[in-house]
Amino acid sequence: MKPLGIQLYTLRDAMQDGNHLAVLQELSDIGYKGVEGHGFGMSPREFRKVVEDMGMKVTSYFGANQTPETVSQFIDDAHELGVVDTVNGYGTAEYKTVDAIKSTAEKVNAVASTIKAAGLSYCMHNHFWEFEIVDGRLAIEWLLDDCPDVSLELDLYWCTNFGANKAKDMAEKFKDRIKLVHVKDGPMVKDEPMTAAGAGKVDLADAIPASDPNWLILEMDFCATDMMQAVRESYQYLVGNGLAAGNKPV
C-alpha cells in the first residue's frame, strides 16, 4: 500500500486566520502520513519542521508554473521541503489545440531538464481538459510525447472527464509516467460538489491498485458536506479498505 497524504488546498478555508497549525495537527491525529502544500507565513524549511514534528512528511511541492528565471528558486524550495516530486499544471487554453499543446510543451521543456538534473521529478497535474480528445488523441498524450522528462500527478477524478474515461484505464495507460496520484471522488457531473473518497462514482478500488505512485494524495476542490468530516471519512475508506497506508489504523 502506498502512503496517504492530503493536498492542503482541500482545507484552505479551515486554515485561514492563523488556524493552520490546528488543522495540521488534526490531520496528524486522523492518521494522514503527509501533506502537499506549504506556506502560512513559514519558509519551506520551517514548514517542513512543523509537519515532521507532527509525525508527517511533505509529500511533494506543488508550485507556480515555472520559467528559466524562476526554476532555481523552485528547486531550492523543493529541496528545503525535503521532497523528490514537484508539480505544476496548466489551464484549458494551453491544451485546446495541438498547436497550443506544442507551445505548452516548449514552456515545460524549458525547465524540465533542469529540474530533473537537480534530482527531482517534474509532474503535470491534470484537470478534465487534459483528458479531452484533441485531434484524435487525449490532450495529455500530445504533451507527454513532446516532454520526455515530465511525469504525472494523475488526478483520478478529473482524468475520467466526467465519465468519458475510466480511472483504472487511465492509471494503467500512464502508469510508467505516474509519480503521484490525487485521490478524488464525486458524481462525475461538471460543477457538482465532490464527495468523500468512496462515496462517489469513481471506482477507486480498481483505479488505485492500477497506479504505482510515490504518494496517494487526497484532494477535494469543494464538497457539499463538512470538509473535515469528508477528510475523516476518506481516510477511513482508503485505509480501512487497504487502498492506502496511514499512520493510524481504522
Domains of the chain: 4-240 (3.20.20.150)
How far is CA 125 from each of CA 122, 166, 177, 186, rounded to the nearest angstrom? 10, 17, 12, 18
**Residue 11 pLDDT:** 98
> H/E element holding 58?
strand 57-58
**Residue 125 pLDDT:** 98
Q: Cell numbers for 2, please give them.
A: 502506498
pLDDT digits (tens, 9 = 90+) for 213-246: 999 999 999 998 999 999 999 999 999 999 999 9
**Residue 52 pLDDT:** 98
**Residue 36 pLDDT:** 98
Q: Is the model's pTM score more than 0.75?
A: yes
pLDDT digits (tens, 9 = 90+) for 71-130: 999 999 999 999 999 999 999 999 999 999 999 999 999 999 999 999 999 999 999 999
Distance (Å, rounded) from C-alpha 196 to C-alpha 6? 12
Residues 6+ apart with CB under 8 A from 23: 11, 14, 15, 228
**Residue 193 pLDDT:** 97
Rounding to the nearest 10 degrees, give the CA dihedral for residues 39, 44, 47, 52: 140
> H/E element holding 34?
strand 34-36
**Residue 124 pLDDT:** 98
> CB 13: neighbour CB atoms within 10 A?
11
**Residue 45 pLDDT:** 97
**Residue 215 pLDDT:** 98
**Residue 212 pLDDT:** 94
Rounding to the nearest 10 degrees, give the CA dihedral for residues 182, 186, 187, 190: -60
**Residue 213 pLDDT:** 98
